């Protein structure tokens, strides 16, 4: 596996706004290609029109973003790719897009919604659980929020326990899970649900293998974790995408990722 080079990625800083070297190179390269392409398209006998050049550069820029993601996954995050190749399409979580596009204004958030479902022939339930958001220049990340969807509300504990045979044993901030830095990443959550009768539970989550990356010298956030505490005291570790049969007295534990820190 390759390691990131030990160079300052910031080319210049305008107040709280930092412009990165790679962003300038992307901008310079695409600007020159666009200018040269339109210049040649105006010559007699040109095989492309200026409008076609515009389209070509647009789709080329899109390809660069996807290419940056592919390179990032293969060289820096290969275990995550091998575990689930669909992570390749999460362009907001790696490559050029992860770094905040051209300006690189904040670190990675938890990068997942932590989709949790359970049910049987009589009951069915679905929820998402928040995690840490990324820090940026001048601000810390927020604790236990949704960052890749609307910040939807969870069912009130009293309503959850009244309508379903479960007990919400705890729902708390996962202290220290946000990445350290001059500005710290937001902390994730720990949610424990005890089942009072047999059901099937499933989890669809991300950043259980890879960590939400920091930026500008900030440290990455802690990865999430899924597990089941059995009534007999044993613990069963679950993967990022898993399904398990829950017995009466078993506790499903969801630990969501923290956000990346910003600044050394």
H helix count then E strand count, the chain: 5, 11
Backbone angles phi, psi at 5, to 5 degrees: -65, 150
In angstroms, the CA 214 to CA 85 distance is: 23
Q: Which of 70, 189, 199, 71 is nearest to 130 (CA)?
A: 189
Backbone angles phi, psi at 30, to 5 degrees: -70, -35
pLDDT tier for residue 41 given thresholds of 50, 70 and 90:
confident
CA dihedral 200, 254, 137, 90 (to 10 degrees): -30
Report CA 118 to chain centroid distance, whole Å: 24
pLDDT tens column, 68-85: 667 667 765 677 778 878
Residue 32: CB atoms within 10 Å: 10
Summarize the confidence of residues 216-225 as an average pLDDT.
91
Please report the pLDDT score of residue 97 as a whole number: 37
Please report the pLDDT score of residue 92 as a whole number: 53
Please report the pLDDT score of residue 159 as a whole number: 95
- More confident position, 207 or 253: 253
For residues 235 and 229, the answer to whether their CB atoms sit within 8 Å is: yes
Kindly provide the b/e burial profile for residues 147-168, where b requires at least 16 CB atoms within 10 angstroms of the residue's own CB: bbeeeeeeeeeeebbeebebeb
Please report the pLDDT score of residue 30 as a whole number: 78
pLDDT tier for residue 91 given thresholds of 50, 70 and 90:
low
Q: Where are the alpha helices (DSSP H) in the chain?
A: 21-41, 50-76, 78-83, 95-98, 157-163
Summarize the confidence of residues 56-62 as an average pLDDT.
74
Tokens of 226: 């899924």
pLDDT tier for residue 2 given thresholds of 50, 70 and 90:
very low
């Amino acid at each position: 596996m390759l390691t990131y080079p030990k160079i300052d990625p910031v080319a210049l800083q305008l107040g709280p706004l930092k412009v990165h070297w790679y962003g300038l190179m992307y901008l310079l390269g695409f600007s020159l290609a666009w200018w040269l392409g339109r210049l040649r398209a105006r010559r007699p006998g040109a095989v492309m029109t200026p409008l076609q050049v515009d389209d070509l550069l647009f789709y080329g820029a899109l390809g660069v973003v996807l290419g940056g993601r592919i390179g990032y996954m293969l060289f820096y995050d290969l275990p995550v790719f091998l575990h689930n190749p669909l992570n390749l399409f999460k362009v907001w979580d790696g490559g050029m897009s992860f770094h905040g596009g051209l300006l690189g204004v904040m670190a990675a958030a938890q990068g997942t919604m932590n989709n949790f479902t359970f049910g049987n022939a009589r009951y069915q339930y679905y929820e998402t659980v928040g995690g840490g958001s990324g820090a940026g220049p001048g601000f810390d990340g927020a604790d236990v929020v949704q960052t890749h969807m609307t910040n939807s509300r969870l069912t009130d504990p009293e309503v959850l326990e009244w309508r379903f045979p479960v007990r919400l044993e705890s729902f708390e901030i996962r202290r220290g899970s946000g990445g350290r830095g001059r500005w710290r990443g937001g902390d994730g959550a720990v949610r424990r649900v005890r089942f009072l009768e047999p059901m099937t539970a499933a989890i669809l989550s991300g950043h259980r293998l890879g960590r939400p990356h920091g930026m500008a010298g900030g440290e990455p956030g802690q990865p999430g974790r899924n597990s089941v505490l059995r009534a007999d005291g044993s613990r069963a570790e679950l993967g990022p995408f898993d399904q398990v049969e829950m017995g009466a007295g078993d506790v499903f534990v969801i630990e969501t990722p923290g956000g990346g820190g910003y600044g050394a």
